């Protein structure tokens, strides 16, 4: 009759149960570590994407700020046929309910037929695309002069700076200033940045609305918690900021030299400052 040697004895049931429990514990722990690490990775990736989106939004806002107040031509050569109470660039900056900026945007170039002309009708070599009654600026490309008026006609190839049927433009006492052959056409531009409910609902988003984009709003950053805007006012006329104002300050007639913008989104908090171009052509 054979007897098992001591070194040939197998595991007992208790030992197998303990080993199985320890193995299961190791697997569960490893799984939890993997799940946690992936959750941290996703959170880091989401935060990085949010940070990139906020930086891009602030870059767009700073670009708009730098254009704000651009008059289209040298202020000394600017002549307006529109009522003095209807300044297209006032206020240049508004910080009520977000940030609103105004400037003159280049629409294109054209040639005036039979130039130089003092006529109220400017026949062009191309279609201009300006709707009747819309404000427009025509600037000499080879001179300092420009004129601002509301298009008083409906001919797509003629800009009309006359009074029109309803007197929408003033008739200059000394006659219309001559315009050379090559001109530049500019139109008022306005861009708004504001917070509103996200397209998907539940959160706030930063939106942009541009007049040049038919007023359609664009969702820039989802999940924005706050947008803070302060304006730097130049009271001495030297182009530098003398004081900062925020909130619902009325900036009509004020000379805004710079704008501070701050966006907060979850754990992201970024700010930047941009100077206005103002009356610098």
pLDDT value, residue 281: 57
**CATH 2.40.10, domain 75-189, yes or no:** no
Burial class (CB in 10 A: 0-12, 13-18, 19+), 100: buried
CA distance 241 to 250: 17
- On whether the CB atoms of residues 137 and 148 are closer than 8 A, the answer is yes
- The angle at the Cα of 33, spanning 30 to 35, to the nearest 5 degrees, equals 110
pTM: 0.79
Q: What are the sequence ranges of the domains in the chain?
A: 47-73+190-275, 75-189
pLDDT value, residue 260: 97
pLDDT value, residue 160: 96
pLDDT value, residue 280: 65
pLDDT value, residue 32: 72
Torsion region of 21: left, alpha or beta (phi above 0 gives left; psi -120 to 50 gives alpha): alpha
CA distance 149 to 172: 12
Q: From first to last of its 281 residues, what are the pLDDT tens digits of the chain? A: 555 555 556 667 676 677 777 777 777 776 776 666 666 656 557 667 888 899 999 999 999 999 999 998 888 888 999 977 678 888 999 999 999 999 999 999 999 998 888 899 999 999 999 999 999 999 988 877 899 999 999 999 999 999 988 889 999 988 998 888 899 999 999 999 999 999 988 899 999 999 876 778 999 999 999 999 999 999 998 889 999 999 888 998 899 999 999 999 877 899 999 999 876 65
pLDDT value, residue 34: 64
pLDDT value, residue 213: 65
CA distance 129 to 84: 25
Residue by residue, DSSP assigns 79-108 as: EE-S-TT--TTSSSEE-TTSEEEEEEEEEE
């Amino acid at each position: 009759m054979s007897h098992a040697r001591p070194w040939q004895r197998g595991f007992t049931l208790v030992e197998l149960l303990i080993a199985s429990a320890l193995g299961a514990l190791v697997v569960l722990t490893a799984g939890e570590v993997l799940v946690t690490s992936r959750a941290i990775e996703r959170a880091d990736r989401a935060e990085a994407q949010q940070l990139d989106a906020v930086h891009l939004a602030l870059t767009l806002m700073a670009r708009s700020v730098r254009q704000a107040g651009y008059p289209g031509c040298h202020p000394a050569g600017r002549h307006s046929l529109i009522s003095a109470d209807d300044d297209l660039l006032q206020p240049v900056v508004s910080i009520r309910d977000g940030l609103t900026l105004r400037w003159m945007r280049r629409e294109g170039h054209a040639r005036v037929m039979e130039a130089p002309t003092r006529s109220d009708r400017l026949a062009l070599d191309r279609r201009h695309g300006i709707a009747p009654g819309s404000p427009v600026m025509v600037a000499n490309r080879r001179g300092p002069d420009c004129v601002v008026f509301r298009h008083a006609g409906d001919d797509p190839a003629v800009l009309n700076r006359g009074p029109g049927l309803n007197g929408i433009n003033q008739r200059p006492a000394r006659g219309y200033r001559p315009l050379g052959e090559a001109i530049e056409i500019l139109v008022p531009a306005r861009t708004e940045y504001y917070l509103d409910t996200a397209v998907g609902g539940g959160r706030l988003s930063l939106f942009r609305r541009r007049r040049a984009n038919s007023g359609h709003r664009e969702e820039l950053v989802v999940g924005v918690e706050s947008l803070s805007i302060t304006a730097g006012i130049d009271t001495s006329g030297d182009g530098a900021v003398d004081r900062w104002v925020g909130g619902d300050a009325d900036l009509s007639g004020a000379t805004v030299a710079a704008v501070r913008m701050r966006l907060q989104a979850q754990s992201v908090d970024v700010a930047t400052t941009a100077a206005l171009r103002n009356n610098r052509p």
